[in-house]
């Protein structure tokens, strides 16, 4: 028997954690009659946390004795944030991931540990040391054997997912008794033509496919359209001399935006971006130590960039470290920047985390800037239900308010959304990914999406005659 179980991301887009379990059949060779892997072990965010106490959201509440390895698709916190809790629950296996992910994972978890786990520096170092010792980086396109015993065997292979640097979908070759199956977990899939990243190619085979559906009900604009829309939004937003605040995720979106903004500055160098200001003089501020750190890591991982980005580097361009870019590091500098920008009428673009405004330095900017009409908030990523980001997006345009740190803030700043700047594939991209698999999967499971997105995506797949399309949780699995 080869079973897929879902421990998260079935009633929303966060907390990804799936299990693939193989029975040893009649010839058990180990203490347990089955063995398996977890694919991701992420944190829940926003209202997807549920109403339970936070400790129960975090602790790993399913059996793990038979879990031989954790396979990580990419290092976003909703896919890796519960790893410390998995270790605390007694998990002793390796953490298998792509090579860039192996470099980024300890960094992102260090930050997560500091915020949510403990302030004890020595304990953090111990946990990080443990995580580093468990990491098994595997190159893209190369099979890696997780276990092979008489009754069952399992190998995994990473392929580029085009979502963030190091992101992968996982192909699993599972053999249990007489059964042999290729199970594919999509992780998060990127849109084609994403800046910096190679786009994903469809799997050569997938008997069963577990696929995300963040944008299962929407299509994105093309790369060129969204690039010029970004330009138009920035020009309109900066015209009245305010700040454009972009809540951005530290890993992925920030680097993509910097890449696109560098491209706009290069192309429109001497054109006016605002009254008395040309693109070449536009100041871009990254105010997030984590985003700055990951921008540095992205710069070092150039061998994993796509051909277009590599070409720019050969031309002498620096897509992630251009001269108009200022990085704010210390907390004191951050507070000064918030105060200065809130008072000055100098047009400026600020990227600050967190992406859904649920914490991080963006909150101070929002408190200082939401009340003024000359400021603008530009959302470039998905806003989960229950996050301040979703509230600003929903109520901002109607002149509403948002609650930040327990206080109400009226929203007079203009609110924009550049939907095309998603690190996730749109519906047609997801369909293309599935249709590219030569033989139709006998089962497709839709996870990692809002209910409406999952239902719309399921409907679309049924229309084009996929035989078995399931939404776990809704259908008793
Ligand atoms: Zn992700």
**pLDDT band for position 12 (50/70/90)?**
low
- How far, in Å, CA of 255 to CA of 297, rounded? 10
Q: Between 49 and 200, whose confidence is greater?
A: 200
- How far, in Å, CA of 146 to CA of 155, rounded? 5
Average pLDDT, the chain: 91
Ligand 1 mean position to 71 CA, how many Å? 15
Ligand 1 mean position to 21 CA, how many Å? 24
Q: Between 409 and 114, whose confidence is greater?
A: 409
Q: Which of 21-35, 181-195, 317-331, 424-438 has the lowest mean pLDDT?
A: 21-35
* Position 419 pLDDT exceeds 90: no
Ligand 1 mean position to 228 CA, how many Å? 25
* Position 317 pLDDT exceeds 60: yes
- How far, in Å, CA of 392 to CA of 400, rounded? 8
Stretch 133-142: mean pLDDT, rounded? 98
Structure tokens at 396: 């901002």
- How far, in Å, CA of 145 to CA of 155, rounded? 4
Percentage, residues of the chain above pLDDT 90:
73
Other beta carbons less than 10 A from residue 335's beta carbon: 14
* Position 331 pLDDT exceeds 50: yes
- How far, in Å, CA of 68 to CA of 30, rounded? 12
- How far, in Å, CA of 190 to CA of 192, rounded? 6
Query: How far is C-alpha 369 from the chain's CA centre?
Result: 27
Ligand 1 mean position to 104 CA, how many Å? 13
Ligand 1 mean position to 313 CA, how many Å? 26
Ligand 1 mean position to 424 CA, how many Å? 8
Q: How would you classify residue 428: left for phi > 0, otherwise alpha for psi between -120 and 50, otherwise beta?
A: alpha
C-alpha to C-alpha distances, 450 to 14, 51, 94, 212, nearest whole angstrom: 10, 18, 32, 10
Ligand 1 mean position to 449 CA, how many Å? 12
C-alpha to C-alpha distances, 72 to 101, 170, 300, nearest whole angstrom: 8, 9, 21
- At 182-240, the pLDDT tens digits run 999 999 999 888 889 999 999 999 999 999 998 898 888 777 888 888 999 999 999 88
Stretch 105-121: mean pLDDT, rounded? 86
Ligand 1 mean position to 247 CA, how many Å? 16
C-alpha to C-alpha distances, 18 to 22, 184, 317, 320, 353, nearest whole angstrom: 14, 11, 41, 34, 28
Ligand 1 mean position to 434 CA, how many Å? 19
Percentage, residues of the chain above pLDDT 70:
93
C-alpha to C-alpha distances, 338 to 114, 166, 285, 326, 350, nearest whole angstrom: 24, 33, 11, 14, 10
Ligand 1 mean position to 189 CA, how many Å? 8
> Would you say 347 and 273 are in contact if contact means Cβ atoms under 8 Å apart?
yes
- How far, in Å, CA of 389 to CA of 385, rounded? 9
Q: Which of 256-260, 261-265, 343-347 has the lowest mean pLDDT?
A: 343-347
Ligand 1 mean position to 251 CA, how many Å? 9
Model pLDDT, residue 57: 60
**pLDDT band for position 45 (50/70/90)?**
low
Model pLDDT, residue 53: 35
Question: Residue 136 — φ and ψ, nearest 5°?
Answer: -125, 95
Ligand 1 mean position to 132 CA, how many Å? 21
* Position 31 pLDDT exceeds 80: no
Ligand 1 mean position to 79 CA, how many Å? 7
Ligand 1 mean position to 271 CA, how many Å? 35
């Amino acid at each position: 028997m080869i079973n897929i179980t879902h421990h998260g991301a079935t009633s929303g887009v966060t907390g990804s954690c799936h299990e693939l379990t193989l029975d040893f059949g009649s010839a058990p060779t180990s203490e347990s009659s089955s063995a398996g892997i977890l694919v991701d072990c992420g944190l829940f965010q926003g209202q997807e946390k549920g109403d339970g106490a936070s400790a129960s959201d975090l602790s790993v509440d399913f059996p793990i004795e038979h879990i031989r390895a954790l396979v990580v698709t990419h290092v976003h916190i909703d896919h890796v944030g519960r790893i410390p809790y998995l270790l605390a629950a007694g998990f002793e296996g390796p953490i298998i991931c792509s090579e860039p992910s192996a470099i980024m994972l300890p960094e992102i978890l260090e930050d997560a540990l500091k915020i949510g786990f403990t302030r004890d520096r020595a304990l953090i170092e111990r946990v990080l040391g443990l995580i580093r010792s468990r990491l098994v980086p595997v190159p893209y396109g190369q099979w890696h054997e997780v276990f092979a015993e008489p009754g069952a065997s399992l190998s995994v292979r990473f392929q580029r997912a085009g979502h963030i640097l190091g992101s992968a979908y996982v192909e699993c070759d599972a053999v249990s008794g007489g059964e042999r199956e290729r199970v594919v977990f999509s992780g998060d899939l990127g849109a084609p033509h994403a800046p910096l990243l190679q786009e994903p190619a469809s799997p050569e085979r997938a008997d069963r496919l577990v696929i995300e559906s963040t944008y299962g009900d929407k299509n994105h604009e093309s790369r060129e359209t969204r690039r010029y829309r970004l330009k138009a939004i920035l020009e309109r937003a900066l015209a009245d001399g305010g700040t454009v605040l972009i809540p951005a995720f530290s890993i992925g979106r920030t680097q993509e935006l910097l890449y696109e903004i560098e491209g706009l500055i290069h192309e429109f160098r001497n054109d006016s971006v605002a009254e008395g200001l040309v693109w070449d003089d536009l100041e871009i501020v990254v105010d997030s130590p984590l985003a700055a750190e990951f921008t540095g890591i992205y710069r070092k991982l150039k061998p994993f960039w796509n051909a277009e980005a590599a070409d720019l580097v050969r031309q002498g361009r620096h897509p992630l470290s251009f001269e108009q870019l200022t990085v704010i590091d210390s907390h004191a500098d951050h507070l000064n920047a918030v105060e200065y920008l809130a008072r000055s009428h100098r047009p400026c673009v600020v990227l600050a985390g967190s992406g859904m405004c649920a914490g991080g330095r963006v909150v101070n900017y929002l408190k200082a800037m939401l009340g003024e009409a000359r400021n603008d908030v530009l959302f470039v990523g998905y806003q989960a239900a229950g996050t301040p980001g979703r509230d600003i997006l929903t109520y901002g345009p109607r002149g509403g308010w948002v609650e930040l740190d327990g206080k109400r803030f009226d929203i007079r700043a203009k609110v924009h959304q550049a939907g095309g700047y998603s690190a996730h594939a749109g519906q047609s991209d997801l369909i293309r990914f599935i249709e590219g698999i030569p033989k139709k999967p006998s089962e497709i499971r839709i996870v990692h999406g809002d209910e409406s997105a999952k239902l719309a995506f399921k409907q679309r797949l049924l229309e084009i005659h996929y035989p078995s399309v399931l939404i776990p949780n809704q259908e008793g699995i």
